[in-house]
Structure 1
């Protein structure tokens, strides 16, 4: 959401964020600056009107993470594409003072590569330094927070030089809402039936040309009923779809009405007016998946369709709510102090132990403090994050009329012994045949061709639901009669319980259309436990493919240990196959990345 400044004098904070971490640091910084009498514009890089760079922006602060193999987050790519235009003059942005904060992980080869690219290009376009840029390392002992604290300290020192008359505001003061939500008392109550509430999601199509209306054709469990993990094969019908293997689909989930009702009851001043129409002061926030028409925008519908109450609360959330906690009683004072501690960098470990470690949700947090916590309606948009779209790798060959995904339903028990269900997968699990949903196609621009050799072999490593884009690529290659070697390394727990799309792979292997190398971690008779074990076992084949046949490697799946272990395995294979030393083998894999021959899609 774009926050219009009151006294910003061109201070703009832009973020590029894939998982929400960079966004939270940006919003936290925006809140901190307000207490120095600066009200900055805060939004994603792609949401910022680019013309304002040349007209309204004087102080530019960029907070950006790096994803995958040195790539920018989805909400930063349009911005980067614009500033990379060769026709832009070198003095275009010579009126801007710039600083940046990168979020990275030094265990990846292109550590903080994305934020560095943006910063370097902006300097080429004439920006001057506002304060020293920072590349934070998640793997360091001080963590991201340690880097951020020092960077923010230097930034505020610089801003004091540029704004010598800055007035610091007492942190106890509650500042005005940025996008105040108010009741429309001129209209009567708008109580809708369950069917009408469900249909409201469809009205959001009117606000975004990229959104597409789809209909559920199949929603089938493809793991054995006795298996702990429920994985769904979902087929969605639509029209005029345009996608390629490797592309993703964005879905726009809603909160379940029961959870929303629980939230509203926790704040009695909300529940009494939950079905009255609302007015929004200022610019309506950029609600993902479009927004419900103003005639039907009520507090209840806002929470069902747009505001996230299921995610883990972040620091900026606590920064806003602690002031709404009544500290006039002993219990209230203790809870107010606790919430305030969660909003500070000094208590990062306390925040982690309270929120992240047990995966406590925003709803659970509000319920825990409800006796003393009273959040005014006008601050709804300031306090609650927006529901973000969920991205899934497409699991079907290109079709204008349908798209498939493979989704693992998130359901587990936390250390608090509470059942936790993922917002999107809980919503997906309940979808029935012919239910309507909203979606959009997200291009990844993955290419599986090489200059001089259009169809090199592809080594695919896709354990679990990471097999989805492999299915799309294999089906597309077969149907288009592309002559190439397709080598599929995939891993599951049990061959009989969770070997996803096993009938398809076994049939294609029998027809000599793919080379299949499965592994099963919990089957005692399995030849190998994990995909990296099976890869190394086939070191002669893999070595020949990547060293002599210029094969492309495509890795997809969870961003935990698997991608790193697979990359280490490729270096070990090269060492054994070509007798390379450790540095030579690592450099060969790095060169494959630079050449577009080693691709990762992890989440």
Structure 2
């Protein structure tokens, strides 16, 4: 009986990936042979020869699968697949969700149910976590994992005389990194992804006031090939790098100076490096371009790191952070102060990391996606990027990796980027009601520029209404001059909310215009487009739309709720949040 198990994850922020890696380590100690991959990177043809499968998936936006999972689901949803296609497959799933969203854990449910429809059977009960619950995601995961391991041990027992590997032992690296003896980089060239585009920075201007708390950049990138192809709602992927100073600190701390610039070989394919490995790979360039040393260390980091300390007190503390029962201790040490992996390594002075374990210990830098803020153009693309800069409870300054990188970009610098399609549809004639606080206005700018351009080309114009919210009229009213000009030219209905000037929030502006809003979305079958932070805004805006339908559309509360759900299903209620 095969004890091979495939663990597939769908993750936007890294939480599902962390649980997948933790589960893999647990199973390896139980002598299962594990394969771990994103859902999107996994060759779906292998499902035909896979006996055991675990799916760990988060839900994003309006019940969507994470970006690295959608190709997998598209395959599963093909109508011509036979009902017994996966009758040989035994599986379970774990969903990461937040009950404050309407389509709670929808992605994990969709995947699980489709696998059942194709004949797969459960080897252990599925589970769905709730980030809002007192137990948190860790509590749900811990219970689900315990049941899963017990079931697997019962269904796939070890042969007589074979015992599990003691967890005090260190497992071999899953993706070994090797310093090469050769100095010839040409022997070790890596292939870049063909989806990458080479661009040149044309503008990198701060568009918020210098005395405003947040630095928002208007980044304009020029593509000399003239081959850019995008539509409103699409995003650009940027590939940030670590600060060379931080990389030097790590190299110096670990005593890697003598090997930092020697050629490096990765023994297995690293599918989860978006854009592909950089050419002329060395330890220094690996740490600079690919490993996220500035991210907050997750439990899987400590699970392995404690093995590499020779100080008993430090080893004990690192081991403690790897225990899921000590989630609060880990949160207080790492998450609350937003302590980075680099800081953690520097603070545990006895920690010495073998180079071959780097991919097992440190996550890769994820590409950062930003909504495009300009109309389709083959030569240029614009972004509005809010830099992440703040102080922790320990009063330590923190900057996001991408924010630090963007801030260093100068006019004339060349960067690589990629374009990612959203498949959003905004209709041709229906009214468009757009709601956007802060940098959520970026895709609205792309859409409005495009629609205004169509009206100038004698295409029947759509009615465009923008509800835009920020703090101050003169500090963070992004692209305010442009909005005002369009409003004066009667090409845009503009309603603003300046929250620090007693102007309320976007939901208040919506309610003030409730009669017109109801007419557009109910009588004229208009489209609602909401974009911005995924805090309380999307929920409050949704409640306001339901209240408008109740009051102006003469609906009951339940009828209003169902109408918004119907709009979602018809693609008329579009919510893009992060």
Q: Distance in 2 between matches of 1:466 and 1:97?
A: 42
C-alpha contact (below 8 Å) 2:195/2:275 kept by paired residues? no
Q: Which moved more, 1:149-158 or 1:69-78?
A: 149-158
Secondary structure, aligned partner of 1:87: coil
- Please state if 1:251 is matched with 2:223: no
Count of matched residue positions in the alignment of Structure 1 and Structure 2:
567
Aligned equivalent of 2:440: 466
Within a 5 Å distance, the mapping from 1:254-265 to structure 2 comes to 254-265=241-252
In structure 1, the gaps of 5 or more residues are: 1-6, 191-199, 327-331
Does 2:377 match 1:383? no
Whole-angstrom distance in 2 between the partners of 1:573 and 1:91: 47
Match of 2:453 in 1: 479
Q: C-alpha offsets along residues 322-367 of structure 1, whole Å, 9 cap, x if unaligned?
A: 11111xxxxx322212211211210111111111111111111111
Per-residue CA deviations over 1:17-61 (Å, capped at 9, x if unaligned) read 111111111111111111111231001001011221112x11010
1:518 paired with 2:496, answer yes
For the Cα contact (< 8 Å) 2:430–2:462, is it kept in 1?
Answer: yes
Aligned equivalent of 1:267: 254
- 1:8 CA displacement: 7.3
Mean CA deviation greater in 499-508 or 130-139: 130-139
Task: Report the Cα offset of residue 280 of structure 1.
Answer: 2.4
Aligned mates of 2:302, 2:562 — CA distance in 1: 45
| Other-structure match for 2:163 | 167
Q: Per the alignment, in what secondary structure is the counterpart of residue 250 of structure 1?
A: strand
Match of 1:193 in 2: none
Offset at residue 448 of structure 1 (A) = 0.9
The answer (yes or no) to whether the contact 1:131–1:154 under 8 Å persists in 2 is yes
In the alignment, which residue of structure 2 is the partner of 1:194? none
Residue 407 (structure 1) aligned with residue 385 (structure 2): yes
In structure 2, the partner of 1:455 is 429
1:258-296 per-position Cα deviation (integer Å, ceiling 9, x unaligned): 01001111112x233211222222334542221123xx2
Give the counterpart of 1:434 among 394, 402, 412.
Answer: 412
Partner residue, 1:530: 505
Q: Deviations over 1:353-404 (max 9, x none)?
A: 11111111111111111x2111111111111100000000010111111111
Identify which of 227, 230, 245 aligns with 1:240: 227
Whether 2:132 is the aligned partner of 1:139: answer yes
Deviation at residue 584 of structure 1 after TM alignment: 2.5
TM-score normalised per structure 2: 0.95
CA–CA distance in structure 2, aligned partners of residues 316 and 291 of structure 1: 23
Pair 1:563-2:548 in alignment: no
Do the aligned residues in 1 keep the contact of 2:200 with 2:415 (CA within 8 Å)?
A: yes
Counterpart of 2:176 in structure 1 is: 180
How big is the shift at 1:247? Answer: 0.8
Runs of 5+ unmatched residues, structure 2? none
- Displacement of 1:222 in angstroms is 0.9
Give the match for residue 294 of structure 2: 310
Distance (Å, rounded) in 2 between the aligned partners of 1:375 and 1:502: 51
Which residue number in structure 2 is paired with residue 356 of structure 1?
Answer: 335
Counting only pairs closer than 5 Å after superposition, residues 181-330 of structure 1 correspond to structure 2 as 181-187=177-183, 206-238=191-223, 239-268=226-255, 270-293=256-279, 296-326=280-310
Between the aligned partners of 2:129 and 2:265, the Cα distance in structure 1 is 40
- Per the alignment, residue 54 of structure 1 pairs with 48
Q: Is the 8 A contact 1:288 1:306 kept in 2?
A: no
Q: Does 1:126 find its partner at 2:119?
A: yes
| Residues 289, 438 of structure 1: 8 Å contact kept | no
Q: Provide the rounded CA distance (Å) in 1 between the counterparts of 2:266 and 2:423.
A: 38
Q: Partners of 1:357 and 1:512 in 2: how far apart?
A: 48
**Partner Cα separation in structure 1 for residue 292 and residue 150 of structure 2:** 35
SS for the counterpart of 2:461 is coil
Match of 2:346 among 363, 367, 370: 367
Shift in CA distance, 124/302, structure 1 to aligned 2, threshold 3 Å: same
Is contact 1:103-1:112 (8 Å) kept? Answer: yes
List per-residue Cα deviations over 1:534-585 (Å, max 9, x = no partner). Answer: 1111111212222211111111001111111111111222222134332222
Q: Are 1:153 and 2:146 an aligned pair?
A: yes
Q: Are residue 346 (structure 1) and residue 340 (structure 2) matched?
A: no
> So what's the TM-score if we normalise by structure 1?
0.91
* Aligned-pair CA distance for 1:208: 0.9
**CA–CA distance in structure 1, aligned partners of residues 300 and 558 of structure 2:** 43
Deviations 1:443-467 (A, max 9, x none): 1111112xxxx42111111110000
C-alpha displacement at 1:530, in angstroms? 0.9
Q: Which residue of 2 aligns with 1:83?
A: 76
Is the Cα contact below 8 Å between 1:215 and 1:237 reproduced in 2?
Answer: yes
Contact 1:448 1:455 in 2 (8 A): no
- Secondary structure in 2 aligned to 1:207? coil
Counterpart CA distance in 2 for 1:442 and 1:153 is 38
Which whole-Å CA distance do the structure 2 matches of 1:576 and 1:338 have between them? 58
> Alpha-carbon deviations, 1:1-22, whole Å to 9, x = none?
xxxxxx9743100001111111
Q: Secondary structure at the match of 2:276?
A: coil
Question: What's the counterpart of residue 4 of structure 1?
Answer: none
**Alignment check: 8 A CA contact 2:251 2:260 kept:** yes
1:230 Cα deviation after fit: 1.1
Aligned-CA RMSD value: 1.7
Task: Measure the CA separation in 2 of the matches of 1:285 and 1:88.
Answer: 27
Q: Tell me, yes or no, if the aligned pair for 1:8 and 1:41 is still in contact at 8 Å.
A: no
User: Does 249-258 or 238-247 show the bigger shift?
Assistant: 238-247
Q: Distance between the aligned counterparts of 2:78 and 2:95, measured in 1?
A: 23
| Mapped contact 1:66–1:113 kept (Cα < 8 A) | yes
